[in-house]
Amino acid sequence: MAAWCWDYWVAEALLKLESLKVMRSLRPIHLIRPESNQTESDELEFYDGLRQWDRASVEVQISETTFQKWLQDIPSSGDDTVIGNGEDDDGAGPCGGKFKKLLIFSGNDYLGLSSHPTVIKAAVKAAQLHGMGPRGSALICGYTNYHRLLESALADLKKKEDCLLCPTGFAANMALITAVGSVGLLLAEGGKPKRDERVAIFSDALNHASIIDGIRLAEKQGSLVNIVYRHCDMVHLNSLLSSCTMKKKVVVTDSLFSMDGDFAPIVELVKLRRKHGFLLAIDDAHATLVCGKTGGGAAEKFKCENDVDICIGTLSKASGCHGGFIACSKKWKQLIQSRGRSFIFSTSTPVPIAAAAHAAVNVAKQETWRRKAIWNRVLEFRAMTRIPITSPIISLIVGSEVKALEASRHLLKSGFHVTAIRPPTVPSNSCRLRIALSAVHTRDDLRKLVTALSECINFEEIGFNCKNYSSKL
């Protein structure tokens, strides 16, 4: 079954929507600048190396009250937050609260763009010109020239025909999968698809919760059959594909797994795609702007951009902003905006956020030193610990919940924010410390972190998931 069949099925589904008069379309609104601001320059500023403001994305302060609660693993309501800035670890803020300084090694701001002045300036300028917005959903009056500009930049980044913005990365996965399932419903004879008329979706066992929840929703609608394959196991996937009698097949996977830090075997997936003719969709949330020469993500890293049909991403990781997107063909975009429930029934992204995200994408593409820096940190951590990590996400499996919490507390006392990941996020007895590296961490930061880690865990005894380790990054 050739992969082009999906183009035919999507086109037929769109014709059905058109005949039912339920095709939804975007209604772009062009926001006009006040006259006094017409001459202001839109030129973006770029920098050739680390600046002091970059550290704001990894250096934070917490109140002494919160610090003590964290040490005792006591839940905090947030009411103990003290507004103000302490000058040092024992400094008092203007409200009398004491602060502790922490270095974040648990965030997803991989390039440090959340504190970049160009990103901040873009958000501030858009807010000053147009207010916050949005005025409604993207299908009513919440879709503007700012949103379209961002979509175009993301489509170009992902080498796709078009792109659809969603309120979050979670919503993007939900919208895509419910839209995929709708193909089976729209093309079924008699309105209710028989099993062989449904869509078979093959999902990696460790896929993100948003993919799992999207599949569950589509299953309830009777449009989709969920088939889970063992994590990154291409022999198992091939076997499942070969025995599947349904024509409409989709394989969906995280490209870089957020809890294990390993890459999906995308090259092998592409080979299976050519053999079985399925639609290949990847959730590139943690690889976008981090991987590839231009930041195009995992598909660019593995030189498979033309073989990945749909790329889902988020603007809340390496972009340092907020929101999600689906890079795809124009036909798929039409289908998703007409059948993706989490897109249709959500308010559009605020205009300043769209402006900031567009600036962040441009900064990430221009300031290539940031990608070089984060991969240098990966190499340095590997050299310091001899743990064969393959990405900026480092999952140190310590086993029991008690061990994970003890290690996290030790790191907190040492001045590091590193979260203990426990059930239900991960299975029992596979509790871990999840460390995330950033381009704005320094070699000295890593050295201090590794010293603190060595005081609470034994690097030779921890578990580490890495099914596709390579000495080459």
We report the CATH number of the domain holding residue 171 as 3.40.640.10
If asked whether residues 89 and 155 sit together in one domain, one would say no
pLDDT at residue 313 tops 90: yes
If asked whether residues 310 and 396 sit together in one domain, one would say no
Q: Which of residues 365, 393, 422 is at a domain's end? A: 365
Asked if the structure places residue 111 within a domain, the reply is no
Asked if the structure places residue 148 within a domain, the reply is yes
Q: Which domain holds residue 288?
A: 5-18+118-365
If asked whether residues 361 and 376 sit together in one domain, one would say no
Mean pLDDT rounded to a whole number for the chain: 90
If asked whether residues 132 and 230 sit together in one domain, one would say yes
If asked whether residues 177 and 319 sit together in one domain, one would say yes
The average pLDDT across 252-268 equals 97
315 phi and psi angles, rounded to 5 deg: -105, 10
| pLDDT band (50, 70, 90) for residue 417 | very high
Q: What is the pLDDT of residue 473?
A: 55
If asked whether residues 360 and 446 sit together in one domain, one would say no
If asked whether residues 147 and 282 sit together in one domain, one would say yes
| pLDDT band (50, 70, 90) for residue 438 | very high
If asked whether residues 188 and 285 sit together in one domain, one would say yes
What's the angle, vertex CA 417, arms to CA 423 and CA 100, rounded to 5?
135
Q: What is the pLDDT of residue 95?
A: 47
If asked whether residues 342 and 378 sit together in one domain, one would say no
If asked whether residues 127 and 221 sit together in one domain, one would say yes
Q: What is the pLDDT of residue 429?
A: 87
Q: What is the pLDDT of residue 43?
A: 79
If asked whether residues 136 and 77 sit together in one domain, one would say no
The average pLDDT across 81-96 equals 48
CA 410 to chain CA mean position, Å: 29
